[in-house]
């Protein structure tokens, strides 16, 4: 008994070692057959494919096979054999079946029929057991691994930036407060305001919107670092591209200017796409078949072309001449909306686009100011289907200019003293960017809603599970 060990279905289908005695554990997807023979398709999540288990009905106790409904968890001991049937090369001839956990067909929500993605969001605790979310979770895993591999191979160090912070990196005020004060009767100051001196940290704190500011302290010491962690935005955007909790990859590099920054962004995105094409083809093919005919072609296309590099002002000129109306006005000084970004990428250039030199008033305080006094060395990378996938910039390394901008924007200098000191002592030109992990997952998977590329989406009015 003990010399047998459990094999994962992915390895079984790859190795096809017929005549071998093995143990398989997983969840029943379907059962069919008659009173002589039963075919049970089981899946263990290691790969999108099922393994077919063949059981001689008379060999088993009736109640065992009766309970093999969709969702049941079982262990099967048996011999692997070539399959005469269509659809699989090998099958498992069962000698022994053990039931771990039944799933009552009256109440188990994931019956055979296809379910809408909307319905699956309501059962996010069970949706990993579907082919779609199995594929999504595996893609997220491989993509995360590839990110660490890419940076490690390039000599970047992974820096753990804090989740709880006392500063607002993007200066947009879209933060979730972290507090232990009693919401019903918080301590008050003499002038009736909440007294955060009494709070856990003795000051106002929030969940981070970006690890960048702390990441810069690492770059200005270790030269090249990256963070990859959860970030939080309390923006009330109910769109298919916004989450309140999402993951971000943020490299930060000393001695990189905006052009080096663009080179790195393009190289990283292409590396990751290539990695996924090389390692996740089974899942990509499944997603392509189910959701997006053009998926693999689009991934190949991005690999085959240089990204377009141009400036914001040029983009505005192009949009003004566009042969289609936009919902939001196009005007120098206004931020680009996703409809504008997608026009540039999908209709005009028909390639990913890297836009730099945005008006300073629509970008964050830390971006390097250009000599024109109007624009900053911002970088946005725009992708087909997604729009903005990366936001970044060369950073303002001049102490006085940075401090001036902080004052101009009425940002709390007292919270940013340490950030300013990185410019006071041994400052250096440096750059970085943030790649939205779930935005990139949308692109890689062909899914249309960001709620369907993260295990447990957090969006306005939704934090179930």
Given the rule CB under 6 A, which residues bind ligand 4AD?
Answer: 169-170, 210, 212, 233, 235, 242-243, 246, 248, 250, 388-392, 432-434, 436, 438-439
Task: Pick the piece of the chain touching Mg ion (CB under 5 A) from 14-22, 52-60, 387-395, 400-408.
Answer: 387-395
Which of ligand 4AD, Mg ion, none does 233 bind, CB closer than 5 to 8 A by kind? ligand 4AD
Considering beta carbons, is residue 59 or 177 the nearer one to ligand 4AD?
177
Tell the smallest beta-carbon distance from residue 260 to Mg ion (Å): 20
How many Cβ atoms from other residues are within 10 Å of residue 111's Cβ? 13
Considering beta carbons, is residue 50 or 394 the nearer one to ligand 4AD?
394
Considering beta carbons, is residue 71 or 215 the nearer one to ligand 4AD?
215
**347-376 positions binding Mg ion, by CB under 5 A:** none
The label of the residue with tokens 């983009």 reads: 315
Tell the smallest beta-carbon distance from residue 155 to ligand 4AD (Å): 19
Considering beta carbons, is residue 26 or 391 the nearer one to ligand 4AD?
391
Is residue 434 close enough to count as binding Mg ion by CB under 5 A? no
* Residues whose CB is less than 8 angstroms from the CB of residue 202 and which lie 6 or more positions away in sequence, other chains included: 196
Which of Mg ion, ligand 4AD, none does 97 bind, CB closer than 5 to 8 A by kind? none
Tell the smallest beta-carbon distance from residue 339 to Mg ion (Å): 16
User: Is 211 in contact with 219 (CB distance < 8 Å)?
Assistant: no
C-alpha distance across the termini of the chain, in Å: 39
Instruction: Please state, in angstroms and rounded to a whole number, the distance separating the CA atoms of residues 217 and 420.
Output: 10
Is residue 391 close enough to count as binding Mg ion by CB under 5 A? yes
Tell the smallest beta-carbon distance from residue 334 to ligand 4AD (Å): 16
Instruction: Please state, in angstroms and rounded to a whole number, the distance separating the CA atoms of residues 427 and 342.
Output: 37
Residue 457: Cβ-neighbour burial (10 angstroms; 0-12, 13-18, 19+): buried
Is residue 432 close enough to count as binding Mg ion by CB under 5 A? no
Considering beta carbons, is residue 91 or 380 the nearer one to Mg ion?
380
Phi/psi region, residue 442 (left: phi>0; alpha: psi -120 to 50; beta: rest), is alpha
Considering beta carbons, is residue 226 or 343 the nearer one to ligand 4AD?
226
Tell the smallest beta-carbon distance from residue 388 to Mg ion (Å): 6
Q: What is the DSSP string of 422-464?
A: HHHSS---EEEEEEEHHHHHHHHH--S-GGGSSSS--BTTB--
Tell the smallest beta-carbon distance from residue 248 to ligand 4AD (Å): 5
Question: Quick one: tokens of 397?
Answer: 């390394």
Tell the smallest beta-carbon distance from residue 48 to ligand 4AD (Å): 26
Looking only at the bridges linking them, the beta strands covering 224-232 and 157-158 are parallel
Dihedral pair phi/psi, residue 215, rounded to 5°: -60, -35
Residues 379, 262, 343, 323, CA torsion sign: positive
User: Is 11 in contact with 26 (CB distance < 8 Å)?
Assistant: no
Question: Quick one: tokens of 136?
Answer: 């999504």
Considering beta carbons, is residue 7 or 233 the nearer one to ligand 4AD?
233
Which of ligand 4AD, Mg ion, none does 243 bind, CB closer than 5 to 8 A by kind? ligand 4AD
Residues at the site binding Mg ion, with contacts judged by CB under 5 A? 391
């Amino acid at each position: 008994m003990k010399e047998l060990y459990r094999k994962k279905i992915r390895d079984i289908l790859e190795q096809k070692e017929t005549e071998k005695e093995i143990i398989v554990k997983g969840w029943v997807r379907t059962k069919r057959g008659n009173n002589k023979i039963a075919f049970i398709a089981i899946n263990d999540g290691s790969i999108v494919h099922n393994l077919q288990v063949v059981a001689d009905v008379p060999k088993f106790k009736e109640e065992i096979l009766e309970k093999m409904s969709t969702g049941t968890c079982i262990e099967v001991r048996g011999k692997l054999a070539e399959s005469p049937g269509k659809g699989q090369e090998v099958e498992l001839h069962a000698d022994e079946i053990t039931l771990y956990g039944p799933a009552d067909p009256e109440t188990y929500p994931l019956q055979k029929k296809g379910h809408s993605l909307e319905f699956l969001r309501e059962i996010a605790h069970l949706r990993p057991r579907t082919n779609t979310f199995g594929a999504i979770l595996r893609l997220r895993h491989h993509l995360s691994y590839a990110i660490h591999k890419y940076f490690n191979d390039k000599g970047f160090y992974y820096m753990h930036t804090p989740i709880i912070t006392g500063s607002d990196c993007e200066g947009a005020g879209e933060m979730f407060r972290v507090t232990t004060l009693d919401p019903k009767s918080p301590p008050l100051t003499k002038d009736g305001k909440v007294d955060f001196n009494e709070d856990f940290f003795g000051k106002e704190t929030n969940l981070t919107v970006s690890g960048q500011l702390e990441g810069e302290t690492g770059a200005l010491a270790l030269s090249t670092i990256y963070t990859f962690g959860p970030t939080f935005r309390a923006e009330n955007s109910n769109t298919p591209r916004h989450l309140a909790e999402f993951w971000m990859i943020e490299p930060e590099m000393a001695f990189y200017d905006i052009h080096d920054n663009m080179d790195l962004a393009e190289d990283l995105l292409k590396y990751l796409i290539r990695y996924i094409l090389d390692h996740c083809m089974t899942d990509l093919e499944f997603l392509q078949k189910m959701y997006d005919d053009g998926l693999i072609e689009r991934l190949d296309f991005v690999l085959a072309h240089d990204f377009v590099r141009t400036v914001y002002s040029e983009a505005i000129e192009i949009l003004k001449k566009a042969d289609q109306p936009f919902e939001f006005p196009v005007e120098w000084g206004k931020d680009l909306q996703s409809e504008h970004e997608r026009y540039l990428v999908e209709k005009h250039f028909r390639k990913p686009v890297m836009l730099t030199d945005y008006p300073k008033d629509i970008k964050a305080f830390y971006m390097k100011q250009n000599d024109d006094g109007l624009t900053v060395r911002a970088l946005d990378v725009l992708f087909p289907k997604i729009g903005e996938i990366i936001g970044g910039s060369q950073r303002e390394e001049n102490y006085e200019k940075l401090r001036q901008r902080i004052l101009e924007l009425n940002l709390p200098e007292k919270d940013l003293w340490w950030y300013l000191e990185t410019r006071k002592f041994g400052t250096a030109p440096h750059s970085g960017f943030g790649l939205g992990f779930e935005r990139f997952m949308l692109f890689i998977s062909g899914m249309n809603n960001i709620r369907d590329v993260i295990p447990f989406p957090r969006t306005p009015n939704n934090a179930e599970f």
